[in-house]
Amino acid sequence: MPIIYHEKEKIFQLNTAGSTYVIQIYDNGFLANLYYGAPIPDVNLTDFARRKVHASFCAILPDSTEESFSPDTAPLEIGCSGRADMRPSSLQIRNKDGNAATDMRYVSHRIFAGKPDLPGLPHLYSEEAGDCETLEITTADPYTGVKCLLLYTVFEKHAALTRSAVIENDSENAVEIERAHSFCLDLNRSDFDLISLYGRHMQEREFERVPIRHGYQGVASRRGSSSHSQNPFIALIDHTGGEDFGDAYGFNLVYSSNFRAEVDVDFNNSARVLMGINPDDFGWTLQPGESFYTPEAVLVFSNEGLGGMSRTFHRLYNHNLVRGEWKHKKRPLLVNNWEGTGMDFDGDKLYAIAKWAAETGIEMFVMDDGWFGKRDDDTSSLGDWVVNEKKLKGTLGDLVRRIKALGLKFGIWYEPEMISPDSDLYRAHPDWAIHVPGRVGSEGRQQYVIDMTRADVRDYLFDIMSGVLGSNDIDYLKWDFNRNITEPGSALLPPEKQKEFYHRYVLGTYELMDRLTKAFPHLLVEGCSGGGGRYDPGILYFSPQIWCSDNTDAISRANIQFGSSLCYPASVQGSHVSASKRTGYETKRNLAMWGSFGYELDPANISEEAREEIKTQIADYHRHYDLIHYGDLYRLICPWDDPYRCAWEFTDEAKTKVHVTVFIKLAQERRNFFLRLKGLDPDKKYRLEETGEIYSGALLMNAGLSLWRMPEGDAVSKVYYFEAVED
């Protein structure tokens, strides 16, 4: 069974195919984390909660029954502020007396099949009966009467579990939540490296690995989104661990706003891991009878290194996070006009691109920024989502019908969360822009952010967007978000609730996304934020793919896509061929094939040779779609290990199809190069399509594949495709 309660020992054992997580109801109702790691059948772990040596001036609570127990050193499932635990806390609630002493003790628990929803928040879900089980532990503060429900859902076959908390105010007084992390995990060791994904616009999710040290370390965002700067993902791996070996713990937050992921190592060499809403600029007033739900965190353990960890995330997200019609349905290959035309277009220019696309085998045309209001550059009209018929030389319906007559689907770009100072909407409703009294708002990209905490704003956006989407046969929506939030404040929130702004903002965004996707269930939504500035599981709950980066250069994309793959599957990664001049079309194709494939170019500016090559690329896309989107990924050579080359492989579940890509970024002196593949069946025979040569799986994995056929030069690449054959 996934969740077992050992009543005599008061121990919960949470089992997956690849991990065990153990909790004990310990001294006077404290919850202790005894173990998280590779599967263990027994739970003789009681001594794991004891710490013989305490910290400096360590306090013992008066109702403690064991001298060996102190909240300052014990491995706790809830680290509370103000009651003898001096480490960073996961929960801090300021009570009616004005102090923040918080003390949660076990009250009850229940175990049930399936997984509960988190109202207003994106979350993983049960795809089929029996695929997950949930433990709900109720704790309460005996002085304040506030409860905290801890939710653990075990996805047994995916070696993953989710953690979140529900804070309920059962008292007669309002309380102020100041810190509400989604989980607290005290590991009985600290011999780890910390891996995170940092970056900026056009350089997202760069891999960084550093040894953890005593004290505090971590990553965070205070930008109003998960951000380009840091992704809401961290991993801990053995110092000596790598792609295929070592204990690896992955943590990912299903949230699209300010977050914090932190690791604190104490003198006992115990590492406390916390992840959740960033407590900076956060507060939430909880009235009697109200509840507060934290975002959900995903925890993955693998003793097969980073590769095993990543493949667990990929399978889990493909099956239990991405939703809707396009979850497993083949997505259309598209061309977007942005890099080809910018905002300088009319209906005839767009039709010409669409006509070439149809003749080439592309399946959908996407009209990007510039179709609405008086939008000819980025200085105006965001919020005025009214079709500029003068620019299109006709109605949007006319353009859609012309392009659909070519056999294509039609997509459109929106940036619903923004408002231009030069717009009819801003002139009518200046208070709809996010602002604080007495200060002139700072502009980013000549635009403000609209106040998504307000129901009237969301109703306006839903109505005006539904008017366009509902009266035209539109198949795809690109949802963009092109600046960070500054001067955070809402005209409708009273002063004591302004600290709720950031969380209320993202809840409002989720609410609008949910309304639109339910109103238009056939719509394929792609998330975007200057590319990858909001590349997180929260967005994936509403859009099955996210534009990976505005940087479409193949050389740059190698690093971006490798970093993204640590926890995000290929199926969600928007990746296109563009007119970048640093590589040829073959290499552009080979990099862009790792994701939801498409094009960003103007056919008027490409050669006839390139046009013919694109037709071949399209055929390859259709042929290998399922293998790449839903196969197992193996990172063979990572760019953070080798600055000159990288390689990756997709293998289907049956281990009968193998797609290998090798990319030489910078040529070195010509030398022998052998690439060892992974994840094959050693007893199967595999035929290399290019030559017809037959290799055993054992040979390809142990001796390797000779790459003497690789082309020479910088920025060159090659695909090797194998299929299993009968003896």
Cα–Cα distance for residue pair 335/659, rounded to 1 Å: 24
| Least reliable range by pLDDT among 3-17, 398-412, 576-590, 680-694 | 576-590
Mean pLDDT of 282-289: 98
Q: What is the pLDDT of residue 368?
A: 97
| pTM for the predicted model, two decimal places | 0.97
DSSP 332: P
CATH architecture, domain defined by 3-320: Distorted Sandwich (2.70)
DSSP 711: P
Q: What is the pLDDT of residue 639?
A: 97
Residues belonging to the active site: 480, 550
CATH architecture, domain defined by 634-725: Sandwich (2.60)
Quick check: 225 and 529 in contact, CB under 8 A? yes
> What are the residue ranges of CATH 2.60.40.1180 in the chain?
634-725
pLDDT band at residue 709 using 50, 70 and 90 as cut-offs: confident
Q: Is residue 444 over pLDDT 80? A: yes
What residue type is assigned to position 490 of the chain? S
Largest CA distance in the chain: 82
Q: For residue 672, what are the contacts with CB-CB under 8 A and spacing of at least 6?
A: 706, 708
Q: What is the pLDDT of residue 58?
A: 78
Burial 254-271 (b: 16+ CB within 10 A, else e): bbbbbbbbbbbbbebebb
Phi, psi of 638 (to 5 degrees): -95, 145
Q: For residue 560, what are the contacts with CB-CB under 8 A and spacing of at least 6?
A: 199, 203, 204, 205, 206, 532, 548, 549, 551
Q: What percent of the chain has pLDDT over 70?
A: 100
Q: Which residue has the higher pLDDT, 612 or 479?
A: 479
> Please, which residues bridge with residue 177 across strands?
93, 284
pLDDT band at residue 385 using 50, 70 and 90 as cut-offs: very high
Q: Is residue 307 over pLDDT 80? A: yes
Among 629, 705, 715, smallest CA distance to 660 is for: 705
Cα–Cα distance for residue pair 256/279, rounded to 1 Å: 15
Quick check: 253 and 201 in contact, CB under 8 A? no
Q: Is residue 524 over pLDDT 90? A: yes
- Pairing between β-strand 364-367 and β-strand 409-414 as defined by DSSP bridges: parallel
Quick check: 505 and 453 in contact, CB under 8 A? yes
Residue 502 has, within 13 A of its CA and on its CB side, a CA count of 24
| Least reliable range by pLDDT among 261-265, 384-388, 405-409, 439-443 | 439-443
Q: Is residue 437 over pLDDT 90? A: yes
Cα–Cα distance for residue pair 124/161, rounded to 1 Å: 10
Q: What is the pLDDT of residue 7?
A: 96
Three-state SS string across 417-477, please?
CEECCCCHHHHHCHHHECCCCCCCCCCECCEEEECCCCHHHHHHHHHHHHHHHHHCCCCEE
Three-state SS string across 531-545, please?
CECCCCHHHHCCCCE
Q: Is residue 602 over pLDDT 90? A: no
Q: What percent of the chain has pLDDT over 90?
A: 90
pLDDT band at residue 654 using 50, 70 and 90 as cut-offs: very high
Q: What is the pLDDT of residue 558?
A: 97
Tens-place pLDDT, residues 317-342: 999 999 999 999 999 999 999 988 99
Angstrom distances, CA of residue 73 to CA of 69, 135, 189, 285, 650: 8, 25, 13, 30, 44
Among 628, 616, 615, 690, smallest CA distance to 659 is for: 628
Mean pLDDT of 629-649: 97
> What are the residue ranges of CATH 2.70.98.60 in the chain?
3-320
Q: What is the pLDDT of residue 372?
A: 98
End-to-end CA distance of the chain: 40
For helices 585-592 and 608-630, give the axis angle rounded to 10 degrees.
Answer: 20
Angstrom distances, CA of residue 708 to CA of 499, 528, 603, 622: 61, 40, 35, 28
Which secondary-structure segment (H or E) carries 390? Answer: helix 389-392
Phi, psi of 29 (to 5 degrees): 90, 0
Alpha-carbon torsion (482, 487, 488, 491), positive or negative: negative
* CA gyration radius, the chain: 27
